[in-house]
A and B are shown apart, each in its own frame.
Chain A
Amino acid sequence: MPEVKKIATRVSYGKALAELGEIHDDIVVMDADLAASTQTAIFGKKFPDRFFDVGIQEGNMMGIAAGLATTGKKVFASSFAMFATGRAYEIIRNSIAYPRLNVKVCASHAGVSVGEDGASHQCIEDIALMRVIPYMVIIQPADDIETKEAVKAAYEHNGPVYLRLARLASPVFNTDPDYKFEFGKGITLRDGSDVTIVASGLPVTAAMEACEMLAADGISARLINIHTIKPIDEELLIKAARETGKIVTVEEHSVIGGLGGAVCEAITEKCPVPVRRIGLHDVFGESGPALELYKKYGLDAQGIYAQTKEFVEGK
């Protein structure tokens, strides 16, 4: 692969937010003492009157965000995925989602690519937690370009949104100048007929590599990037199930309740086919370099390749 630019989606988020703040003065940004990490500090520096760092109190941050939203503000509230969706879960449910308020929960440091900080900070259940909340929308962009569009989409969407972002710098693969982010629509990155790989977030680029490796073995893999996990693109997934007969899901999240769960739920009623879910199988993560963790959980190109090949060959 030629040398590609690498940018973490959290960095793209911080920049996009600061840009969006210039256009929309109803945007308010909040953070819980992690503004440097979540990159909301960029907005905070530019618009100090519309930025509130509440300190280490994620629950109160979500509640204040809800109150601000009742007055017409569009609030982007950020922390690490663990604390935003875990610690503040019930406040998101009862104070944000139930009254259907315009709060965008934008959480960085999702998944095992957090790396060295270890299991306590590697949130692998946030998609599951947010998916079960009525009205909640979930977007997980895969690169810089997609993140910038996702931030705009989150702003435009009327109601709560969960935006899942990562710590690790990742390749910017959306180089097409006509890239279009369509809310709720999956993107077919590569056509194929033997199997469909459905990925979301950082593992998308590894899945692209895996597809090349599979092709070298004569396996034709379709690749779908799902940026909107809820509502998920059922039509595209059912079509893929029908046409390729097998689906592999890839996510840095628990295979319970995340992308894998969502894909299974989407296809089961209309076109059930075998699904191999790649991700964390009911285990916590651990400390280590992000890429080594990806390897351990089979989320790197080699891991996706090997598991898909085995699955396709019926082993």
Chain B
Amino acid sequence: MNNTQLEIIANKVRQDIIVGTFNAKSGHPGGSLSATECMVLLYNEIMNIDPADPDNPDRDRFVLSKGHAAPGLYSVLAERGFFPVAEIENLRHLGAMLQGHPHIAIPGVDMSSGSLGQGVSAATGMALSAKMDNKSYRTYAMLGDGELEEGQVWEAAMFAGNHKLDNLCLIVDNNNLQIDGTLEEVNSPYPIDEKYRAFGFHVINVEDGNDFDQLRSAFAEAAQTKGKPTCIVMKTVKGKGISFMENNVGWHGKATNAEEYKAAMDELKRAGEELCRK
């Protein structure tokens, strides 16, 4: 898939994120938007998955350990055909399929997550199972940078490094903002790359985690890395793609009001139209 095609998908995903959280009057747009390019690339180019066969035992796995970015994951899955895009409109509604945080019962969702630090352990278990059974599938897990403050993240890293799980690829969405402020203001996990290296990981720093070429090359390097798990630390922009949300921590866990919704959708639609002219 070429970058323009991917950008068009990412633009649709961003619109879905805004629609879903606006209708739900809640949810987490900021961290969904920062992670959009990465998840779009994984599900449309990198991962071996089939929307028609979401439970195939040989599929690649993805665990959204930063489960609050569920609107982003759901939108990517819907745009990829795992379930109708219309489901996004019912996000977080009573009786709806799409729960506030990822749930394994949703087609395409490989693990329930949302309590930070837990998804990465589950992903480690999936990668371990592949090693046990000599299966070639790969497991990806995305963590928030604030999530690195959870001790369980490092328990899992110690195990994955020790067991040389080279079929495991972690992605840290390093947008540098958590609910209570910047990472440094709250409890800095930096230097992230050195920490993961010390735990036996191959680390790839991606300067712009909202850039498809840089991400593509990182995933290629991860797939070629043998004998150790990989951690991709990607610098991203929280709220990416909507000017008034970018780098603004206030948009971590808040939906747009009617006026903001219109402004956000107008901006995304304009960007989408431009992409279609490319």
A98 adjacent to B112 (CB under 8 Å): yes
Interface residues of A in 85-106 (CB under 8 A from B): 90-91, 94-95, 98-99
Q: How far is the CB of A114 from chain B (nearest CB, A)?
A: 25
A60 adjacent to B152 (CB under 8 Å): yes
CB contacts (< 8 Å) of B117 on chain A: these are: 59
Q: Which of the listed residues A54, A67, A69, A90 has the most CB atoms from chain B within 10 Å of its own CB?
A: A67
User: Which of B37-45, B88-96, B153-161, B216-224 participates in binding chain A?
Assistant: B153-161
A73 adjacent to B103 (CB under 8 Å): no
CA distance A98 to B133 in the complex (A): 26
CA distance A60 to B118 in the complex (A): 8
Interface residues of A in 34-87 (CB under 8 A from B): 49-50, 52, 54-55, 57, 59-60, 62-73
User: Given contacts A59-B121, A95-B122, is CB(A64)–CB(B111) below 8 Å?
Assistant: no
Q: Kindly identify which residue among A50, A55, A67, A90 contacts B125, using a CB–CB cutoff of 8 Å.
A: A67
User: Given contacts A52-B128, A63-B124, A67-B124, is CB(A94)–CB(B152) below 8 Å?
Assistant: no
Interface residues of B in 58-99 (CB under 8 A from A): 61, 63
CB contacts (< 8 Å) of A90 on chain B: these are: 115
Main secondary structure of the interface of B (DSSP, over half): helix
CA distance A242 to B57 in the complex (A): 52
User: Given contacts A64-B159, A70-B110, A99-B111, is CB(A50)–CB(B132) below 8 Å?
Assistant: yes
CB contacts (< 8 Å) of B130 on chain A: these are: 71
CA distance A49 to B124 in the complex (A): 16
Q: Which of the listed residues A59, A64, A66, A91 has the most CB atoms from chain B within 10 Å of its own CB?
A: A64
CB contacts (< 8 Å) of A98 on chain B: these are: 103, 112
User: Given contacts A60-B156, A67-B129, is CB(A72)–CB(B112) below 8 Å?
Assistant: no
Q: Which residue of B lies closest to A59 (CB)?
A: B152
User: Given contacts A60-B155, A60-B159, is CB(A95)–CB(B126) below 8 Å?
Assistant: no
B129 adjacent to A71 (CB under 8 Å): yes
B152 adjacent to A91 (CB under 8 Å): yes
User: Given contacts A54-B159, A60-B152, A90-B115, is CB(A65)–CB(B125) below 8 Å?
Assistant: yes
CA distance A69 to B114 in the complex (A): 18
CA distance A6 to B132 in the complex (A): 37
Q: Which residue of B lies closest to A68 (CB)?
A: B125
CA distance A66 to B125 in the complex (A): 7
Q: Which residue of A lies closest to B99 (CB)?
A: A98
CB contacts (< 8 Å) of A50 on chain B: these are: 132
A70 adjacent to B126 (CB under 8 Å): yes
B152 adjacent to A67 (CB under 8 Å): no
B156 adjacent to A99 (CB under 8 Å): no
Q: Which residue of B lies closest to A64 (CB)?
A: B125
CA distance A65 to B156 in the complex (A): 12
CB contacts (< 8 Å) of A91 on chain B: these are: 115, 118, 121, 152
A64 adjacent to B152 (CB under 8 Å): no
B1 at the interface (CB under 8 A from A): no
B132 adjacent to A64 (CB under 8 Å): no
Q: Which residue of B lies closest to A72 (CB)?
A: B57
Q: Which residue of B lies closest to A65 (CB)?
A: B125
CA distance A49 to B132 in the complex (A): 7
B123 at the interface (CB under 8 A from A): yes
CB contacts (< 8 Å) of A94 on chain B: these are: 112, 114-115, 118
User: Given contacts A94-B114, A94-B115, A98-B112, is CB(A63)–CB(B122) below 8 Å?
Assistant: yes
B121 adjacent to A63 (CB under 8 Å): yes
B258 at the interface (CB under 8 A from A): no
Q: Which residue of A lies closest to B151 (CB)?
A: A59
Q: How far is the CB of A64 from chain B (nearest CB, A)?
A: 4
Q: Kindly identify which residue among B57, B110, B156, B158 contacts A63, using a CB–CB cutoff of 8 Å.
A: B156
Q: How far is the CB of B61 from chain A (nearest CB, A)?
A: 8
Q: Which residue of B lies closest to A93 (CB)?
A: B115
CA distance A66 to B111 in the complex (A): 9
A64 adjacent to B128 (CB under 8 Å): yes
Q: How far is the CB of B155 from chain A (nearest CB, A)?
A: 4
B152 adjacent to A63 (CB under 8 Å): yes
CB contacts (< 8 Å) of A69 on chain B: these are: 125
CA distance A90 to B152 in the complex (A): 12
Instruction: Provide the B126-139 mask, 1 if CB < 8 A to any CB of A, else 0.
Output: 11111011000000
CB contacts (< 8 Å) of B155 on chain A: these are: 54, 57, 59-60
CA distance A30 to B186 in the complex (A): 35
CA distance A59 to B61 in the complex (A): 21
Q: How far is the CB of A146 from chain B (nearest CB, A)?
A: 30
| Smallest CB-CB A-B distances: 5 pairs | A67-B125, A63-B121, A60-B155, A67-B122, A64-B125
A interface list, Cβ under 8 A from B: 28, 49-50, 52, 54-55, 57, 59-60, 62-73, 90-91, 94-95, 98-99
A-B contact pairs, 27 of them (CB 8 A): A49-B132, A54-B159, A57-B152, A59-B121, A59-B152, A60-B124, A63-B118, A63-B122, A63-B124, A63-B156, A66-B111, A66-B121, A67-B63, A67-B127, A67-B128, A68-B126, A68-B128, A70-B61, A70-B104, A70-B122, A70-B126, A71-B130, A90-B115, A91-B121, A95-B111, A95-B113, A98-B103
B interface list, Cβ under 8 A from A: 57, 61, 63, 103-105, 110-115, 117-118, 120-130, 132-133, 151-152, 155-156, 158-159
Known: A55-B158, A70-B122, A72-B57. 13 other contacts (CB 8 A): A59-B117, A59-B152, A60-B124, A63-B120, A63-B122, A64-B156, A66-B111, A72-B129, A73-B129, A91-B152, A94-B118, A95-B112, A95-B113
